[in-house]
Amino acid sequence: MGPLGISVSGFAVEKLFHFNLRRLVLAFLTADIALAAIYAVAVLNGEVPKLFDLDGEGNIGAWWSGTKFFLAGALVFAVSLLRLPEISKTLPFYRVVAFGFVFLSLDEICAIHERLTKFSVSNIPAMPLFRGDHGAWIFIYGAVGLGLLVALRKPILRVATGDRQATALIIAGMMLVVLGGVVVEIAGYYKMIGSYRIQVLLEELLELVGTTLIANGAALHLAKSCAIALEHRPPATRPVDPSPSMAPVAPAPGE
């Protein structure tokens, strides 16, 4: 048996995934830093290509972050398909989290939150806003997120207790995303950051690294769940030979 009560085969799967996961994290972080560096160099040169303009829509950074959110959603959904007692007890939680990551992927790529702010400014007079009629989406997303945290607090604690490392990665990633997409964004509304380009760079870099942690945390949780699923596989049974026995029949007494 390996640690955490996982069988040798399951432990081998998890260890192999850990090894490859470290490489994957390094590759993702390299891509994150490269995108931020290309943007910074382009800003210094005075001309930012549209594909690398982290402040625009449809740029490579948005697609890259959106892809990682989608990957996280797909991995969490894959966990929900495993036939394990603990997962069955928290199945709605896994489905909600998977849907949430896919929605954030669409939001990152299609800039849904920006369109939501424009709609709110035009159609909801009572909507609270930050300076310059910005940030309506922060109040809406914040209310939805808080509601989900309260509603799902029990399965969150159950999953976090069972897989602390993956949970820590996902929580750390979400904190970086919120720090970049909300805190730095609000600071920008009030001109608390000297340069707008620095604000964009800081905001997007935090989101890029955050989505990397989230995707890899989801991958780690799937790896551990698969290892446990291997442990719970029913033992293989030998097939019964339907043919009659070929052993010689003992003669009856007196023959």
134 beta partners? 130
pLDDT for res 5: 44
Task: Answer yes or no: are the C-beta atoms of 175 and 210 closer than 8 Å.
Answer: yes
pLDDT over 50 (residue 156): yes
Tell me how far apart the alpha carbons of residues 130 and 188 are, in angstroms, rounded to a whole number: 10
Euclidean distance between CA atoms 184 and 202, whole angstroms: 8
- pLDDT tens digit sequence for 209-242: 999 999 999 999 998 888 888 776 655 555 555 5
189 has pLDDT over 50: yes
**For residue 135, is it left (φ>0), alpha (ψ between -120 and 50) or beta?**
left
Q: Which residues, at least 6 apart from 6, have a Cβ–Cβ distance to it below 8 Å?
A: 14, 227, 228, 230, 231
- Looking at residue 249, its pLDDT comes to 54
What pLDDT score was predicted for residue 238? 52
Percent of the chain scoring above 70 in pLDDT? 83
Close Cβ partners of 247 (under 8 Å, ≥ 6 residues apart): none
The CB density around residue 63, as the number of other CB atoms within 10 Å, is 14
What would the mean pLDDT of 94-106 be, rounded to a whole number?
Answer: 97
Q: What is the pLDDT of residues 61-77, one digit of tens each?
A: 999 999 999 999 999 99
